Every structure is written in structure tokens, then in C-alpha cells.
């Protein structure tokens, strides 16, 4: 039982982070906290990808020719490349989300989503921006 | 020369969007309306290329294009077959007509200086969707899915009220969660097989379908895509997103973005998961048919109680995506053809309906159903188009909605899923109820004296002509249905009969 | 923050090194961690540092709005044009081996560096645009 947890500790950490991020998206009312939760959620996925690219006894996937060693074992570089792309996507989503939050604050004066719903319910304005 | 063109046509379909999206702001600095012509030429070129691709693969083998010259398991590959090119043609046609419609419509909804940026982001939105349709590499599908979604968030936020920011933010959170689930599923598939190419994945997944890794991967991918498609329990972003966005964007998004997510699910189900062979005892078709039936009924029932025209059309869209799923989940040639035809039909009908709603908004700055009383006398042409489109959505013969429902019911009867037939008939009745209410308000009630004042006297020709083209095509393809039906049947034969994929 | 002597001096001293480090990251992308996106972010953050220490007007005068908009398009054009040029030279899209250099290996090498340069320019310009749009109290 203890090997089940200790051998696969990287997957356990990824799952714990994923659930923390997901909880923050669902349960927090502040919009910035929701964006931070989304970031934590996506970061846990990156951790999961990179942890599956490790080869036993492998070193960083940059070619080097050491003297005295016959053959060098490298890690799998493909998930690293996938994660670079996914990090760019995550940064873009965060940037768009923060831009929308700035505009929301200018229009409503608050960044809590229940307050925004209340303001919209009480005084719905058409054609205002 | 023709050979050169045929070889490189798959990638040129995407590259024109890159150039268009980057040239539109540059031209917009010189003159604001030049960016409109840039968008128009780009979508027209991509429509021509998509139809050319459809005719190239119709009788021949699928076209394959290797990016960078690297052979398939090492590099990204684009693959065009009949299913792909059919949906490519539909998406590019709808986007072309939306650009024409947008010329008149965005003058009253979006701030003048933002027009070049609007066209640029719109071209990225459509280009991302074309990329999803044409690629053969599963991670490339994720990247293009995120490009489309990001452009969609920005486009929805350009709506006319301040609540559109909140609608865009909700869509952002839910859409990113869905795309991240898709990414986790890709990670699990990569863990099991070591490759990202769809052809290679199909071969390497044989015999592994009862391992935990592949089952979890299927679960994550299906849930992530269902969030993007807005099937019933995960649909909460769609009504606000379609209601509070500009009229052009409602029209273009309603016709394309959920269909492309449905295509993604179809492609993954048939190609790598092999739904036609059945796998490890789970009745995957049955699960999807149940979920899709609940979606159809829920969408239609909730649409009856709406007071805003655009929100009603949005819930109707949620219901219609269920038809596509039901049609393609039954592993049957006629049902698959019906589902594929419904992609074409619903794109035409729903885009035209949102365009008509935009026309009502242009004249009266209101989209509430109560404000439309008696508009049949003041706007006869628009109301007539709305009537024809409503008949088509219900499924009256001689219109295009009848053809797809006929084929789905034929396929359901043939393959033994009898539960589908009463669901489709009941939902047609519910569709008649909620569209009938609007038609009743338009034609059979007198306009009240306290109507909101007329904002513009005349609807621009660009808006009227693009809607009229779509309505004409609804009737034309309803009467002379030979060409789309033949294409869909051939696509169904190719997809269902091809396992493992060659 | 403009009045603090230490911040001003250190920023004026460090800025060229930050930008050179961005170029170093770009050029060594194939033999050490780095590449186009990272180099673009480092270069963009040098301009954000000017904005933080000296104020938004000063940073805007160093990178006017029109130059910023053109730079965003320029980087992506370099990418797309390289790909199209490979098509006209006889290969597939982005097949750098067909570029008219001495050998396929050198074509691959130089093609990849050009692509990374395009990516770095676009990412740097986009970082600056995002910061200048979100920050500041005035509406433009």
C-alpha cells in the first residue's frame, strides 16, 4: 500500500493540484480567484505531462558527447515540446481573462460574480458600455 | 500547375487565414473599410479551395499533406477526405455569408475604430475551425481548438451591452476547463501508445481497450468535447454567449463552432476508438444516444419558456446538436448520413435565423418576443423569411429540415434503436410550439402603440441579401436534395467501413 | 518610483543586459533551454520594467503605438513567408531542407532560426501591448 503512494508520488501531486484548482474555479466568487484556479488546474496538467516523459536513468534531452561513456540515455523530449505550446495557450487565456476582468470592473464597480448578477438583475441596461 | 495546386491546397486553406488575419489591421490603418474587403476575399478564397478539395477527394483516395516533409509518426500531417471537405465547405460558406452580413450589421453595434481588429479576430476564429477540420494529429486539434476558443471569447466580449463581458468570462472559464480535459485525455493516449498521429493511434490502440488508461482517456476526451458542444448538463455557457454577442457573431458561431466540436467527437469515435467494432463491452453508442436524446428534449422544453428571441434560438441550438449526435452514434449508413446532413442544414437554418433576429434588432433595438407583435406588416420580407425558416426547423417536407430528420429516422428504424423515433417526433412538435408562438406574434397580432421607435428606416442590402441566399438554399436543397445526400452517403460508407484506418 | 535613485540607476544599468540575454536565449534555443517564446517574453519584460520604474508615458515614447502594432504583424509574416517560400522552392510547407542554401542540414538550421526570430518578435510586441492596455488609469 505504501508503495502504491510512494512510487507514484508525481501522479498523486498532479491530482491534488488539479482538484485544488478545480475547487477554486467552482467555489470562489471573486473572478480573479477563478482565473488563478484555472491556472493551477492547467499547471497540474503540465506536471502530469512532464512526469510521463522521464526515462529510467535518463538525462536532459540535449545532445552531449562525454568521454568515457559509450551510450547516453536521454529523456523523451516530445512532451516537453507539447507543454511549451500548452504554456503559451495558458498564458494567452489568462491575459484575455484579466483583460475582461478590467473591463468588468470599469462597468460594474465590483469583481464578485454574485454582486455583478445582483446589479444586472436590479438595473439591466441595454446599449450601455 | 494544377498538380501543384492540388498538392498544396490543404495547407493553403489555412495559410490564407494567417495572411488575412495579419493584413486586416494593417489595411485598417490606411482605410477602415479595406479590412472588410480583406476579410471578404479571404473567406471567398477559402470557400473556393474547400469546394475544390471536396471535388478532388470525391472519387479518389484521401489527400494527405506532410507538413515540413516529415513522414507521419514524426511529423504533423493534414488529411482530407469526404467528411472533412464537406464540413470545410459548410463552415467557409457560412463564414463568407456572415462577413457580407456583417458589413451592414456591425456599423450599429461595434465602435468604428475597432472594425479592423474585429475582422482580424473573426478571421482567426474561422481559420482555427478550418484547422481543426483538416488536421490528422491529435495535439494539433487541441491547439486549433484553443485558437478558435480564444478568438470566440474576444468576439463575444464585443457585444452591445455590458453583460456581454460576463457572458464571455463564463464561456472562458468553462471552455478552458473543457479544453484542459481534452488535453488530459491526449496525455493518457500518448502514455499508452507513444504517438500522436490519428492513423498510427488507430493501429496501436487495437487490443488495449480494456486497460484503465485508455478507458480514462476516452472518458476525459468525451466529457471535454461535450463541454465544448454544449450537450445538456454542460450547456450553461451557451445561452448567454449567443444572446449578448453582436448579431454577426451569433450567426457565425451558431452555424459553426458547436458543429466543429461535434465533428471532432465523430472523428475520434470512429477512427481511434472504433465505435463500429464495439469495445470491451461498454455500449458506447447507447450512452451517447441517451445523452443526446435528453439534450434534444431539454433544449426544446427550455426554449418554450423564453421571452427573448435570441435566447430561444440559443436553446434551440442546444437541442439541435442532439440530432447530430444521435445520427452519428448509431453505426448505420443512413443515420450517419442524416447526422451529417443535419450539420449542413442546421448551419444554414440557424445562421439565417440569427441573421433575421439581427435584422429585427437593427430596426427596433429589441429582441424580445413581445416587442415583435405585428411586425409582419412593417417588415414583410423578414417575417416571410422567418416563417420559411421555422417551417424548415420543424421539418415540413419540401424544406431541408425534413431531409435530415427522414434519414435519421430511417437509420434508427433500420438499426433497431426504436427509442429515437418518438424523441425526434416529440421534439419536432415542441419546435413547432416555440416557433409557432413567434410566428403568431409576427402575423396575427396587432402592433401596440407603445412600440419602441424605429431606429433605422431601412435594413441594408447586405443583411437582406445574405439571409435571402440562405433561405433560398434551404428550399433548394429541400427540393433538389440529390447532391448533399449523395455526398453524405458516400462519407458514411467511407467512415463506417474503414477500420483499421488505411 | 521615478524619484528613487537606486531603482533608476540599476534599471538603466541592467536594461541592455536583459535585452542581450533575450537574444542569447533566442540563439541558443537548440542547445540549451530557450527558444522563440521565452526570448520574446524576456525582451518584452525589459520594456515593462521601463514602464514600472519610469512611468507609462516614458515607456510609450520608446515604443510608440504604431510601431508596436506593425511589429506584431511582422513577426508572424516572417513565419508565414518562410513557409510559403519553402513551397515555392519545391518542398512542402515549412520544409526547410529545400531552402536554397548549401545543404539540407544548413537549410534546416537557418530556417529554424528565422522561424524562432519571427516568434520572438511577435511575442515581445504582444507582451508589451497586453501590459500597456491593462495598466494605467486613462481610457484610450
Q: Residue A58's pLDDT band (boundaries 50, 70, 90)?
A: confident
| CA torsion through residues C121, C124, C127, C129, sign | negative
Q: How many CA atoms lie within 13 A of C95 on its CB side?
A: 21
Q: What is the pLDDT of residues B166-199, one digit of tens each?
A: 999 999 999 999 999 999 999 999 999 988 998 8
Q: Is residue C93 part of a domain?
A: yes
Q: What is the pLDDT of residue B321?
A: 92
Could you give the CA distance from residue A128 to residue A113 in angstroms, rounded to a whole number? Answer: 19
Q: How far off is chain C from B129, nearest CA to CA, in Å?
A: 19
Q: What is the pLDDT of residues B445-489, one digit of tens each?
A: 777 655 555 656 678 888 889 999 999 999 999 888 888 999 999
**Inter-chain touch A52–B160, beta carbons under 8 Å:** no
Q: How far off is chain B from C72, nearest CA to CA, in Å?
A: 9
**Inter-chain touch B22–C73, beta carbons under 8 Å:** yes
Q: What is the pLDDT of residues B296-329, one digit of tens each?
A: 999 999 999 998 999 999 999 999 999 999 998 8
**Is the pLDDT score of B345 beyond 50?**
yes
Could you give the CA distance from residue B127 to residue B47 in angstroms, rounded to a whole number? Answer: 12
**Inter-chain touch B180–A96, beta carbons under 8 Å:** no
Please state the rounded mean pLDDT for residues B348-357.
93
The grid coordinates listed for A116 are: 455583478
**Is the pLDDT score of C140 beyond 50?**
no
Residues in C touching A84 (Cβ below 8 Å)? 35, 37
Residues in A touching C42 (Cβ below 8 Å)? none
Q: Is residue C139 part of a domain?
A: no
Domain that holds residue C27: 5-134
**Inter-chain touch B163–A120, beta carbons under 8 Å:** yes
Q: What is the pLDDT of residue B500?
A: 46
**Inter-chain touch C35–A84, beta carbons under 8 Å:** yes
With an 8 Å Cβ cutoff, is B176 touching chain A? yes
**Is the pLDDT score of B389 beyond 50?**
yes
What are the counts of helices (DSSP H) followed by strands (DSSP E) for chain A?
A: 5, 0
Q: What is the pLDDT of residue B61?
A: 84
Q: Are B160 and A127 in contact (CB under 8 A)?
A: yes
Q: Is residue C73 part of a domain?
A: yes
Q: What is the pLDDT of residue B292?
A: 93
**Is the pLDDT score of B108 beyond 80?**
no
**Count of other CB atoms within 10 angstroms of residue B418:** 9
Task: Share the mean pLDDT of chain A.
Answer: 88
Q: Residue B498's pLDDT band (boundaries 50, 70, 90)?
A: low
Q: Is residue C11 part of a domain?
A: yes
Please state the rounded mean pLDDT for residues A59-85.
82
Q: What is the pLDDT of residues B268-300, one digit of tens each?
A: 988 888 776 666 667 788 889 999 999 999 999
Q: How far off is chain B from A68, nearest CA to CA, in Å?
A: 32
Name the residue among B160, B161, B183 with its Cβ closest to that of A45.
B183
Q: What is the pLDDT of residues A24-54, one digit of tens each?
A: 999 999 999 999 999 999 999 999 999 998 8
Q: What is the pLDDT of residues C14-28, one digit of tens each?
A: 999 999 999 999 998
| CA torsion through residues B381, B458, B244, A39, sign | positive
- Strand (E) or helix (H) holding B78: strand B77-80
Q: What is the pLDDT of residue C70?
A: 87
Q: Are C124 and C38 in contact (CB under 8 A)?
A: no
Distance of CA A39 to the CA centre of its chain: 4
Q: Residue C1's pLDDT band (boundaries 50, 70, 90)?
A: low
Q: How far off is chain B from C33, nearest CA to CA, in Å?
A: 22
* Number of domains chain C contains: 1
Could you give the CA distance from residue B111 to residue B434 in angstroms, rounded to a whole number? Answer: 34
Residue whose cell numbers read 480535459: B181
Q: Residue B391's pLDDT band (boundaries 50, 70, 90)?
A: very high
Q: Are B321 and B229 in contact (CB under 8 A)?
A: yes
Name the residue among B19, B67, B69 with its Cβ closest to that of C80.
B19
**Is the pLDDT score of B143 beyond 60?**
yes
Neighbouring chains to C with at least 3 Cβ pairs closer than 8 Å: A, B
Please state the rounded mean pLDDT for residues B79-105.
92
Q: What is the pLDDT of residues B238-247, one digit of tens each?
A: 999 999 999 9
Neighbouring chains to A with at least 3 Cβ pairs closer than 8 Å: B, C
Please state the rounded mean pLDDT for residues B3-12.
85
Q: Are B141 and B32 in contact (CB under 8 A)?
A: no
With an 8 Å Cβ cutoff, is A62 touching chain C? yes
Top-tier CATH class for A2-55+73-122: mainly alpha
Backbone angles phi, psi at B135, to 5 degrees: -90, 160
Q: How far off is chain C from A119, nearest CA to CA, in Å?
A: 23
Residues in B touching A101 (Cβ below 8 Å)? 169
**Is the pLDDT score of A68 beyond 70?**
no
**Is the pLDDT score of B501 beyond 60?**
no
Backbone angles phi, psi at A69, to 5 degrees: -115, 135
Q: Residue B1's pLDDT band (boundaries 50, 70, 90)?
A: confident
To the nearest whole percent, how much of chain B has pLDDT over 90? 53
Q: What is the pLDDT of residue A129?
A: 59
Please state the rounded mean pLDDT for residues C81-92.
85
**Inter-chain touch B177–A34, beta carbons under 8 Å:** no
Distance of CA A2 to the CA centre of its chain: 29
Residues of C in CB contact (< 8 Å) with B are 66, 69-70, 73, 76-77, 80, 83-84, 87, 91-98
**Is the pLDDT score of B51 beyond 60?**
yes
Q: Is residue C61 part of a domain?
A: yes
Q: Are C110 and C101 in contact (CB under 8 A)?
A: yes
Please state the rounded mean pLDDT for residues C91-117.
84
Name the residue among A63, A84, A99 with its Cβ closest to that of C133.
A99
Neighbouring chains to B with at least 3 Cβ pairs closer than 8 Å: A, C
Please state the rounded mean pLDDT for residues A9-20.
93
pTM of the full predicted structure?
Answer: 0.94
Closest residue of A to B246, CA-based?
Answer: A127
Q: Residue C107's pLDDT band (boundaries 50, 70, 90)?
A: confident
Name the residue among C32, C37, C134 with its Cβ closest to that of A102.
C134
Could you give the CA distance from residue A95 to residue B179 in angstroms, rounded to a whole number? Answer: 17
Cα C69 to Cα B124, B396, C9, C128: the distances in Å are 17, 52, 30, 10
Q: What is the pLDDT of residue B278?
A: 66
Q: What is the pLDDT of residue B374?
A: 77
**Is the pLDDT score of A128 beyond 70?**
no
Task: Share the mean pLDDT of chain B.
Answer: 88
User: Of the candidates B220, B245, B254, B203, which has an alpha carbon nearest to the alpha carbon of residue B91?
Assistant: B254
First to last CA, chain C: 24
The grid coordinates listed for A128 are: 450601455
**Is the pLDDT score of B264 beyond 50?**
yes
Could you give the CA distance from residue B142 to residue B137 in angstroms, rounded to a whole number? Answer: 9
Could you give the CA distance from residue B116 to residue B94 in angstroms, rounded to a whole number? Answer: 20
Q: What is the pLDDT of residue A8?
A: 85
Amino acid at each position: 500500500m505504501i508503495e502504491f503512494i510512494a512510487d507514484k508520488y508525481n501522479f498523486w501531486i498532479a491530482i491534488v493540484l488539479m482538484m485544488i484548482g478545480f475547487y477554486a474555479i467552482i467555489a470562489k466568487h471573486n473572478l480573479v480567484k477563478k482565473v488563478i484556479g484555472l491556472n493551477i488546474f492547467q499547471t497540474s496538467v503540465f506536471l502530469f505531462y512532464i512526469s510521463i516523459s522521464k526515462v529510467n536513468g535518463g538525462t536532459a534531452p540535449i545532445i552531449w558527447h562525454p568521454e568515457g561513456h559509450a551510450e547516453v540515455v536521454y529523456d523523451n523530449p516530445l512532451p516537453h515540446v507539447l507543454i511549451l505550446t500548452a504554456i503559451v495557450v495558458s498564458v494567452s487565456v489568462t491575459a484575455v481573462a484579466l483583460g475582461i476582468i478590467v473591463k468588468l470592473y470599469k462597468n460594474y464597480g465590483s469583481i464578485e460574480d454574485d454582486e455583478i448578477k445582483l446589479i444586472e438583475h436590479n438595473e439591466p441596461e441595454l446599449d450601455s458600455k | 500547375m494544377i498538380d501543384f495546386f492540388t498538392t498544396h491546397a490543404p495547407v493553403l486553406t489555412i495559410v490564407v487565414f494567417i495572411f488575412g488575419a495579419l493584413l486586416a489591421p494593417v489595411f485598417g490603418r490606411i482605410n477602415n473599410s479595406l479590412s472588410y474587403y480583406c476579410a471578404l476575399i479571404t473567406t471567398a478564397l477559402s470557400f473556393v479551395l474547400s469546394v475544390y478539395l471536396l471535388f478532388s477527394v470525391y472519387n479518389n483516395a484521401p489527400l494527405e499533406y506532410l507538413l515540413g516533409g516529415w513522414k507521419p509518426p514524426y511529423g504533423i500531417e493534414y488529411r482530407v477526405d469526404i467528411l472533412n471537405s464537406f464540413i470545410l465547405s459548410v463552415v467557409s460558406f457560412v463564414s463568407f455569408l456572415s462577413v457580407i452580413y456583417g458589413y451592414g450589421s456591425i456599423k450599429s453595434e461595434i465602435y468604428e475604430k475597432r472594425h479592423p481588429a474585429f475582422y482580424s479576430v473573426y478571421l482567426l476564429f474561422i481559420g482555427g475551425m478550418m484547422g481543426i477540420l483538416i488536421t490528422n494529429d491529435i495535439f494539433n486539434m487541441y491547439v486549433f481548438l484553443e485558437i478558435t476558443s480564444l478568438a470566440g471569447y474576444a468576439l463575444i466580449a464585443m457585444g452591445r451591452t455590458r453583460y456581454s463581458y460576463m457572458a464571455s468570462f463564463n464561456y472562458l472559464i468553462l471552455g478552458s476547463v473543457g479544453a484542459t480535459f481534452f488535453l488530459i485525455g491526449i496525455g493518457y493516449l500518448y502514455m499508452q501508445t507513444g504517438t500522436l498521429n490519428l492513423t498510427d493511434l488507430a493501429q496501436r490502440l487495437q487490443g488495449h481497450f480494456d486497460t484503465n488508461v485508455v478507458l480514462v482517456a476516452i472518458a476525459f476526451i468525451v466529457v471535454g468535447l461535450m463541454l465544448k458542444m454544449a450537450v445538456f448538463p454542460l450547456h450553461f455557457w451557451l445561452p448567454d454567449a449567443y444572446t449578448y454577442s453582436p448579431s454577426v457573431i451569433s450567426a457565425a458561431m451558431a452555424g459553426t463552432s458547436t458543429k466543429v466540436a461535434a465533428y471532432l467527437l465523430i472523428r475520434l469515435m470512429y477512427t481511434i476508438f472504433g465505435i463500429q467494432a464495439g469495445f470491451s463491452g461498454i455500449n458506447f453508442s447507447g450512452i451517447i444516444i441517451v445523452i443526446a436524446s435528453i439534450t434534444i428534449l431539454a433544449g426544446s422544453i427550455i426554449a418554450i419558456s423564453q421571452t427573448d428571441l435570441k435566447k430561444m434560438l440559443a436553446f434551440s441550438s442546444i437541442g439541435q446538436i442532439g440530432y447530430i449526435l444521435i445520427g452519428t452514434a448509431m453505426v448505420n449508413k443512413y443515420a450517419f448520413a442524416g447526422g451529417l446532413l443535419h450539420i449542413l442544414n442546421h448551419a444554414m437554418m440557424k445562421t439565417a435565423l440569427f441573421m433575421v433576429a439581427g435584422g429585427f434588432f437593427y430596426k427596433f433595438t429589441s429582441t424580445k418576443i413581445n416587442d415583435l407583435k405585428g411586425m409582419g406588416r412593417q417588415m414583410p420580407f423578414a417575417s416571410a423569411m422567418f416563417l420559411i425558416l421555422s417551417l424548415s426547423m420543424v421539418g415540413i417536407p419540401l424544406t431541408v429540415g425534413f431531409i435530415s430528420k427522414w434519414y435519421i429516422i430511417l437509420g434508427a428504424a433500420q438499426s433497431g434503436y426504436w427509442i429515437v423515433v418518438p424523441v425526434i417526433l416529440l421534439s419536432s412538435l415542441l419546435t413547432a410550439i416555440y416557433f409557432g408562438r413567434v410566428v403568431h406574434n409576427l402575423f396575427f397580432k396587432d402592433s401596440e402603440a407603445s412600440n419602441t421607435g424605429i431606429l433605422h428606416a431601412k435594413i441594408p442590402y447586405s443583411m437582406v441579401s445574405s439571409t435571402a441566399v440562405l433561405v433560398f438554399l434551404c428550399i433548394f436543397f429541400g427540393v433538389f436534395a440529390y447532391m448533399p445526400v449523395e455526398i453524405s452517403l458516400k462519407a458514411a460508407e467511407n467512415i463506417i467501413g474503414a477500420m483499421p484506418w488505411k | 518610483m521615478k524619484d528613487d535613485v537606486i531603482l533608476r540607476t540599476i534599471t538603466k544599468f541592467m536594461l541592455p543586459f536583459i535585452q542581450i540575454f533575450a537574444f542569447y536565449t533566442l540563439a541558443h534555443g537548440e542547445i540549451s533551454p530557450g527558444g522563440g517564446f521565452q526570448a520574446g517574453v524576456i525582451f518584452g519584460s525589459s520594456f515593462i520594467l521601463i514602464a514600472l520604474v519610469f512611468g507609462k508615458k516614458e515607456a510609450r515614447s520608446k515604443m510608440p503605438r504604431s510601431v508596436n502594432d506593425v511589429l506584431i504583424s511582422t513577426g508572424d509574416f516572417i513565419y508565414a513567408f518562410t513557409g510559403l517560400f519553402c513551397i515555392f522552392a519545391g518542398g512542402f510547407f515549412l520544409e526547410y531542407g529545400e531552402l536554397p542554401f548549401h545543404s539540407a542540414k544548413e537549410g534546416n538550421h537557418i530556417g529554424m532560426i528565422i522561424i524562432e526570430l519571427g516568434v520572438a518578435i511577435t511575442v515581445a510586441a504582444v507582451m508589451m501591448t497586453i501590459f500597456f492596455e491593462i495598466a494605467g488609469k486613462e481610457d484610450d
